[in-house]
């Protein structure tokens, strides 16, 4: 009985030591976004537009498949969060595993997930890694594309689908 109490006490102390080093998601993403702004690694809309036309840049989206299908920046590549490092290989490496695109802009809704994933991408050897939030793109009246189709959703309006703009942009 004493042994179980000792083991319990030791595990409780050990878990509290590790828990004191834990940084929650909100604090981590907030600090990473603030750091990106200070260091110039928070992309502007103009930088995103330019990167979409450059051969040495990739604009990748780390949102879920459902988020991406609902609205994405035309020309971006979805790499998701499940295994983005693996998915990036198809976008940035050639057949000999050499970088063809060594600069990245990582997109998600608020740049929180992008900021966290950007840390991993930097460690992978990318020359430049910037983050960007989809909300900014939409709020500045840039178009988003969608994967919605009336073939998948029979309640659709049978409209032609393509570029969409935020409601406030239609005025």
Could you report the per-residue pLDDT of 74-99, keeping only the tens digit for each?
999 998 777 777 777 778 777 887 87
Polymer length of the chain? 171
CB 73 within 8 A of CB 59: yes
Cα angle for residues 62, 160, 156 (degrees, 5° grid): 80
Residue 41: the pLDDT is 97
The mean pLDDT value for 97-117 works out to: 90
pLDDT, tens digit, 9 for 90 and up, residues 16-69? 555 557 778 888 889 999 999 999 999 999 999 999 999 999 999 999 888 888
Closest residue by Cα to residue 144 from 59, 81, 75:
75
Residue 14 has pLDDT above 60, yes or no: no
Residue 94: the pLDDT is 79
Question: What is the pTM assigned to this prediction?
Answer: 0.79
**Domain locations along the chain:** 24-134
CB 72 within 8 A of CB 145: yes
pLDDT, tens digit, 9 for 90 and up, residues 142-171? 999 887 655 555 555 555 556 778 888 876
Residue 38: the pLDDT is 96
CB 48 within 8 A of CB 105: yes
Q: Does the structural domain 24-134 have CATH classification 3.40.1390.10?
A: no
């Amino acid at each position: 009985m004493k042994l179980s109490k000792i083991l319990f006490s030791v595990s409780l102390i050990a878990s509290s030591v590790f828990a004191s080093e834990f940084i929650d998601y909100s604090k981590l993403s907030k600090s990473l976004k603030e750091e990106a702004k200070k260091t110039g690694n928070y992309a502007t809309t103009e930088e995103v537009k330019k990167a979409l036309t450059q051969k040495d840049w990739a604009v990748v989206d780390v949102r879920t498949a459902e988020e991406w299908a609902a609205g994405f920046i035309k020309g971006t590549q979805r790499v998701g969060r499940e295994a983005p490092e693996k998915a990036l290989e198809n976008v940035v490496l050639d057949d000999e595993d050499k970088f063809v695109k060594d600069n990245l802009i990582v997109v998600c809704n608020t740049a929180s997930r992008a900021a966290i994933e950007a840390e991993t991408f930097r460690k992978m050897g990318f020359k430049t890694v910037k983050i960007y939030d989809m909300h900014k793109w939409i709020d500045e009246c840039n178009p988003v594309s969608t994967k919605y189709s009336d073939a998948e959703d029979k309640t659709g309006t049978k409209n032609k689908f393509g570029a969409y703009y935020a409601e406030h942009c239609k005025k």
